[in-house]
Amino acid sequence: MMKKDEAKTPKGENLIGKVLNTAGLVEYQKGAVVSRQIINKPVGTVTVFAFDKGEGLSEHTAPFDALVQILDGEAEVTISGKPKKLVAGEMIIMPAGQSHSLKAPARFKMALVMIRS
């Protein structure tokens, strides 16, 4: 029996130990932000997102550092009022306690890794 927090496919298949195409774990949807949590543990999470062009996440803060890696397309990540353009293959660490937001000038996919401290 699988534990509640194990990574699973939509059909319930366990993802642990599988080779995965990270960008292929979520699909773009018109006018939407789609997310899929891959790991959910008390010490942190890994979530994959697909943002349609023009979508984003509004400015907010988090109590711990968060790593964003762009998997496809390009994103604008703003940290403490300073925008940065990222493209596929690049990543940035958003520091704990600093305001940040994400925008999609073009559609993009990203992996978000948060480790609780």
CATH topology of domain 22-115: Jelly Rolls (2.60.120)
Name 109's bridge partners: 50, 72
* pLDDT tens per residue across span 92-103: 999 999 999 999
Contacts 24+ apart (CB under 8 A), 40-43: 40/5, 41/5, 42/116, 43/115, 43/116
Q: What is the pLDDT of residue 23?
A: 94
Q: Mark the ranges of the chain whose per-residue pLDDT is less than 50.
A: 1-5, 9-10
Percent of the chain with pLDDT over 90: 78
Q: What is the pLDDT of residue 2?
A: 38
Q: What is the pLDDT of residue 14?
A: 80
